[in-house]
Structure 1
Amino acid sequence: MKTTNLLKLSVFLIFIGRAWQHIFWDAPFRTFFWNESLLKPFVEKYLNISWTNYVTSPQTDAFIQTCIQANGILYAIAAFCAIIITKNNKKAVQIPIFLGGLGLVFLSVLLAKEKFYHIAQFFEHSIQFGLPFLLLYSLHHNFEVKKLVLTLKILIAITFISHGLYAFGVYPVPGKFIDMVINIFGCTESVAISFLYIAGILDFLLAILIFVPITAKYALMYAVLWGILTAIARIAANFYWEFPLQSLHQHVYEVVYRIPHGLTPLMVLTGIVIYWKQNKLVSNVT
């Protein structure tokens, strides 16, 4: 089934991209481990050290970095499992995928905490942390294409709305969004902000139109294009010919785990075709 293959590929890309990030670069784990209001009582009572000594300790930093890289290894294992998993071997390989999915939820919470608990920052990653669990569902004996398609549409809508809230300016427009537009198009800051404003409006419209039968196909085609282009924009805006390998190493992983933002609406398109064919076959039989 094409939809299931795309789902496997998407989950692989999400996990391998995050593995690359965690193993070679960084992740916001310090947002949790340096949370004074949450951890200070535990640190001072059970570790018997002051909070100041805890947050400035090289051992603490080394421990946090080890946790980040350990999660990267988990994501790498989960990526491999996502490619090889089938109904026959799912009992043996589904655990890393499930744990990796939980890790992505936790990562999204940390990213939201970094942005003062902006709810949109958490839900902007809905596709990324939702697809691993949908992959496991697709291998369940009660799996239905119709339910999968509906859930994928919901994930697309939530992701695009969340992205749109930033582009439209409901939340402060991220400087990196503006910089990417300027670097790619060579425009002024005011033009970049206007471009993002329009993109935000289109994000909101898309979230509605994918549920309207007469417009769903065209809205999903736009979502495929926009999802892939916004993923590629990460490297297009940050590639320097003077340092090609370093540029790729530093930013390609961002492209990799965002490509599923374009593959997910493509899954919906193929899933709708499959569901339609199944229903047509049943009606012909009856």
Structure 2
Amino acid sequence: MSNRMLVESTDRMYRPLFLLLQAAAVAVLLGRGWQHFFWDAPYRALLWDESLLKGLVEGVFGTPWREYVTDPANDRRISLFIRILGIFYFLCALLVIWISRVPMWLRRSLWVASFSLAILAWLYSMDKFLHLGQFLEYSLQVGAPLFIYVAASRQRIDEPLAFWMRLATSVTFISHGLYAFGFYQVPGNFMTMVISILGVSDGVALQFLKAAGFLDFVVAVLIWLPGKWRMAGLYYCVLWGAATSFARVWAYFVPEFWLESLHQWLHETVMRFPHFLIPLALLLLERRSR
């Protein structure tokens, strides 16, 4: 696709593409806000890491490490910080909804939000032995606030923005595939969701995940190829991205406790909406340019 064709296409398609990017950013910010405000986030993995912080805590603040990690007041401060960060995400979601009316200086809060999401991704990777795939799996979530910021600022989806959207999609699917295929240890929740939704045995679930992981690698390449190959890859990204997003609610929903189930799992689905909304934006862009 030439740059001129892309610009002409996005001029005609800007509004629906903008709405998809807007929805993706709102979703991840609302989902992470819900997680931080009502549940928890892994900041203690950093703040209670003895190898990293013991020298600072004891040398600078003069507090014995054991006292620092066992003090209930410190735990309450961490919980308060996490809740405040949740409120920040909620406010950023509102900012995205009204982004066309928000001054440029305030829009830059979305850079802070993306940076914060990147730190969160790093903290999750600390829990997985600093696996690079764990960190990069959040590329679409981290990128969503930046994509809407750029789209709102430029008033179009230009070639550089489309490139970064495609790159984030490719990296996210490759990273997911590394776990599903078994390059890293297959997560227990992956197995649980497949068994719960499909009603299959452990062995069949593992083979299903390996096949899904292989397809993740394939589509991560296809979306860089021209013509029908890119279209096929993007169609798959939309369908599989939506399926893996809604799998959280589907697998863990308990009808007898529907409200509690939604409270616990709906945000896990919503925060993953960029995994199919951003590929959908790329798909619409590709279809219009043909």
Q: TM-score, normalised by structure 2?
A: 0.91
- 1:270 Cα shift? 2.0
Once residues 20 and 225 of structure 2 are traced to their aligned partners in structure 1, the CA distance between those partners, rounded to angstroms, is 23
1:7 aligns with 2:17: no
In the alignment, structure 1 residue 70 sits paired with structure 2 residue 80: no
* 3-state SS of paired residue (1:139): helix
Q: Structure 1 residue 93: deviation in Å?
A: 2.9
TM-aligned CA deviation for residue 144 of structure 1: 5.0
Partner of 1:98: 111
Tell me which residue corresponds to 1:282: none
Gapped regions of structure 1 (runs ≥ 5): 278-286
1:188-211 per-residue CA deviation (whole Å, 9 max, x = no partner) reads: 000000000000000000001111
Q: CA deviation at 1:56?
A: 0.7
Give RMSD over aligned pairs. Answer: 1.4
Per the alignment, residue 283 of structure 1 pairs with none
Match of 1:116 among 126, 129, 136: 129
Q: How far apart are the structure 1 equivalents of 2:157 and 2:207?
A: 42
Bigger mean CA deviation after superposition, 106-115 or 144-153: 144-153
Q: Does 1:126 align with 2:142?
A: no
Is residue 178 from structure 1 mapped to residue 191 from structure 2 by the alignment? Answer: yes
| 1:229 matches 2:204 | no
Deviations 1:135-180 (A, max 9, x none): 2211334965222222111111000000000000000000110011
What pairs up with 1:203-222 in 2 under 5 angstroms? 203-213=216-226, 214-222=228-236
SS at 2:271 equivalent? helix
Give the residue type in structure 2 aligned to 1:74. Answer: F
Query: In 2, distance between residues paired with 1:75 and 1:186?
Result: 36
- How many aligned residue pairs are there? 275
Asked if the contact 1:234/1:251 (under 8 Å) is kept, the reply is yes
Match of 2:31 among 17, 42, 50: 17
Partner SS, residue 225 of structure 1: helix
Q: Trace 1:136-151 onto structure 2 (pairs within 5 A).
A: 136-141=149-154, 144-151=157-164
Residues 145 and 271 in structure 1, CA contact (< 8 A), matched pair in contact too: no
Is 1:27 the counterpart of 2:31? The answer is no
**Alignment match, 2:204:** 191
Mapped to 2, the partners of 1:223 and 1:142 lie a distance apart of: 26
2:8 equivalent in structure 1: none
Question: What secondary structure does 2:224 align onto?
Answer: coil
By how many angstroms is 1:104 displaced?
A: 0.3
Q: Distance in 2 between matches of 1:40 and 1:238?
A: 39
CA distance in 2, matches of 1:39, 1:224: 42
Which structure carries more relative contact order (alpha carbon 8 Å, separation 6+)?
2
**Distance in 2 (alpha carbons) for counterparts of 1:207 and 1:146:** 18
Indicate the residue corresponding to 2:12 in structure 1: none
State the one-letter code of the partner of 1:161. I
Letter in 1 for 2:99: I
* 1:6-40 CA-partner distances (Å, limit 9, x unpaired): 11110000000000000000100101100111111
**Structure 2 residue matching 1:140: 3-state secondary structure:** helix
Q: CA contact under 8 A between 2:144 and 2:274: conserved in structure 1?
A: no
Cα pair 1:74 1:96 within 8 Å, conserved: no
List per-residue Cα deviations over 1:28-68 (Å, max 9, x = no partner).
01011001111111111222210001001101100110111
Decide whether the 8 Å contact of 1:15 with 1:75 is kept in 2.
yes
Q: How far apart, in 1, do the equivalents of 2:35 and 2:87 lie? A: 11
Q: Which residue is 1:166 aligned to?
A: 179
TM value normalised by structure 1: 0.93
The one-letter code sitting in structure 1 at the alignment partner of 2:141 is Q
Q: Quick one: structure 1 residues 50 and 111, their matched pair in 2 at CA, closer, same or farther if it must change by over 3 Å?
A: same
Structure 1 residue 55 and structure 2 residue 69: aligned?
yes
Match for residue 261 of structure 2?
Answer: 247
Kept after mapping to 2: 8 A contact 1:20/1:253: yes
